[in-house]
């Protein structure tokens, strides 16, 4: 059915359904990104919530969109996935996406987040004068930014304190 043949309600539903589908695919992609790089943040929690809501809705619909009855009543008889996929592939898309979501959730659960690494200055000495002990300024302490965990920084700082003027 062409866009111009759809009722205004069916057109609005397709737009909302397309936005929902894009958000679902983005959530799935972010879930897998977080699983691979071991990231945990509020966006991941939001994505997981979205995927769970979508999964519950599909379970209510028996694997089909729970809005399918309303969609047909609004004058759109074609299932949404069939707009972009052949009928057989469209029917297989829901179980495939469910499996990808489930495996992604398991991967996030089994791959703990990386330890937090903050940037702290790491003291280093720089010899800016002649090393033969001749005239010139004495060695000075320079700080280079480095990613060092807090527990390692505590081990570095006491050792570096004796270098400070």
Q: Could you tell me if 118 and 150 are in contact, meaning their C-beta atoms sit under 8 angstroms apart?
A: yes
**DSSP string computed for 111-164:** SPPPPP--EEEEEEEE--S-TTS-SSPPPEEEEEEEE--HHHHHHHHHHHHTT-
CA 129 to chain centre: 50
Task: Write out the two tokens for 37.
Answer: 């790089």
Written as six digits, the tokens of 131 are 């090393």
d(CA 143, CA 45): 37
Q: Are 13 and 19 in contact (CB under 8 A)?
A: no
* Structure confidence at residue 42 (pLDDT): 94
Q: Would you list the domain boundaries of the chain? A: 3-110, 119-161
Q: What pTM did the predictor assign?
A: 0.67
Going residue by residue through the chain (165 aa), what tens digit of pLDDT does each one get? 788 889 999 999 999 999 999 999 999 999 999 999 999 999 999 999 999 999 999 888 888 888 888 899 999 999 888 999 999 998 899 899 999 999 999 999 999 888 766 555 555 555 455 555 555 555 554 445 455 555 555 555 455 555 555
């Amino acid at each position: 059915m062409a866009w111009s043949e759809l009722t205004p309600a069916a057109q609005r539903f397709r737009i909302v359904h397309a936005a929902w589908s894009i958000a679902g695919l983005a959530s799935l992609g972010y879930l897998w990104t977080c699983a691979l790089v071991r990231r945990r943040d509020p966006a991941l929690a939001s994505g997981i919530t979205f995927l769970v809501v979508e999964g519950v809705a599909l379970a209510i619909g028996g694997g089909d969109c729970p809005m399918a009855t309303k969609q047909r009543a609004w004058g759109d008889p074609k299932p949404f996935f069939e707009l972009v996929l052949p009928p057989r592939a469209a029917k297989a898309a829901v179980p495939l996406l469910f499996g990808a979501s489930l495996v992604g959730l398991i991967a996030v659960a089994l791959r703990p987040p990386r330890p937090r690494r903050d940037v702290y200055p790491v003291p280093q000495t720089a010899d800016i004068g002649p090393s033969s002990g001749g005239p010139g300024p004495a060695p000075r302490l320079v700080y280079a930014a480095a990613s060092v965990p807090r527990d390692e920084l505590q081990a570095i700082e006491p050792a570096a304190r004796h270098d400070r003027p």
